[in-house]
Amino acid sequence: MLLFCQMPVAAQNPDKTLSMTDALQTAGANYMIQSKTNYTRSSAEAVQAAKKNALPDFILAAQTAYGTLNGVNGLGSGLQGVTTITASNNASQNMNASFGALYNVNINMNVFSFGLQRSFVAATRGQYEQDRADLRQTKFDVETTVIGLYLNLLTAQRLRIVMQDNVERISRLRDIIIARTMNGLNPGVDSSIANAELSTARMSLTDAENFEQTQASQLSIEMGVKQTYYNLDTSFVTTLPKNIPSQNEVNLQLHPVLRYLDSRVITSDLTATYIQKTALPRFSFFAIGQERGSGFGGSFSSDPDDYSDNFLKGVDPVRANYLVGIGVTWNITDLTRVKSKVLSQRFISAAYKDDYSQAAIKYSDQLHFANQQISNALTKYREVPIQLKSAQDAYDQKKALYENGLTNIVDVTQTLFFLNQAEASSNVACTAVWQALLYKAIAAGDSSLFLLQF
């Protein structure tokens, strides 16, 4: 518990680098994961309860009462919620009352129900497996989401640094332009253009800061900690993955999402089987042991004085009976009801199968696209140094020409724009490879494709 409470604090320490491993460990306490874990635990207990449902009913009962005992010949019928008193016929009404007691032991056990109990346990276990698959899917989603947000925040931080450098570079250039303008070496409009370029650069920096704050907020929410500034691991900016996975075949049947969708189909089919068996007959064994005490004597119907109002005499058992037997119950009309219920459940299974097929096609296409993205990202990574050097050389040349009065401010600002773009591309090129690799891990349903590469 102490370690759990300290994890968010460690993640918020501004003097410590938040590694991706630390971020994933902190996100392990995600409320969604905890919620799905509790659902899984509940399903596990439901399986145990379903197994215990096969135990026989063993009921102990005891009661005592005080009242009169008068009977009369007549007709009657049982009504729900109405309790009647059974008594021997008396010649006349009397108000003599006494105590009585009843002690009962009842055993009832289903001995054969055409596999109803087994199908009930199987359906309950299917729900447990479905909840487990849902938990695995949630953990995978949280894990890959945190990785993606981590890379996005790292990219945002690098872009913000690029924009800061660009503001400083334009600010220095503007100082040169203003000095030359004041000395009459350049037209006055050049200073206006320089001011406009600086203003544009500052607005770009503000946009970059907003983007960084947004990504930091999303990462904090997913990790379940208070938002702060994160020092991230910059190796993802400078170092490629150890091993770029080739376009190898991936077993998509192991994808957490597909396994969850498949578990829904299995659970639905098991539920349909259980519903179908509820319409079949049920054979049961039953046994009853009963003792009864009464304050009324055996001749009370002819002798109204043959009774005692002594409590102990009334609760003392004086008669005993037992009964054992087997029985069968079958509600014939259930055949019609259950048929429609089974068909309804089968259609649900068919819908789940359609969802599975659609998801399998989607992830197969995403996997193919991810391989292309990795290839494209690597190509851009190799081209970026060439672009950056060319942009830097062009800017240095135009700046030198401008300072010597051999070109105009428009040419300088144009090369400045290209240099800023090249620096931005250079700072995100390596991270883009990691993001493409993450996309493949998501499509393949295997986060180790990413986590084993750093």
d(CA 140, CA 257): 9
pLDDT of residue 79: 63
d(CA 281, CA 16): 69
pLDDT digits (tens, 9 = 90+) for 388-438: 999 999 999 999 998 888 888 889 999 999 999 999 999 999 999 999 999
d(CA 107, CA 93): 39
Please list the ranges in the chain whose pLDDT falls under 70. Answer: 1-15, 72-88, 245-249
d(CA 141, CA 257): 9
**Longest CA–CA separation in the chain, Å:** 139
At 433 the three-state DSSP class reads: helix
Q: Which of 63, 70, 62, 61 is nearest to 296 (CA)?
A: 70
Concatenated DSSP letters of 135-150: HHHHHHHHHHHHHHHH
pLDDT digits (tens, 9 = 90+) for 333-358: 999 999 999 999 999 999 999 999 99
At 395 the three-state DSSP class reads: helix
pTM (two decimals): 0.83
Helix or strand (DSSP H, E) at 352:
helix 334-403
d(CA 160, CA 206): 8
pLDDT of residue 100: 87
Q: Which residues on neighbouring strands pair with residue 307, listed in sequence order?
A: 296
pLDDT of residue 347: 98
Tokens (6 digits) for 41:
């635990």
CB neighbours (10 Å) of residue 231? 13
pLDDT of residue 3: 33
At 90 the three-state DSSP class reads: coil
Q: At what angle do helices 409-444 and 189-223 cross, to 10 degrees?
A: 10
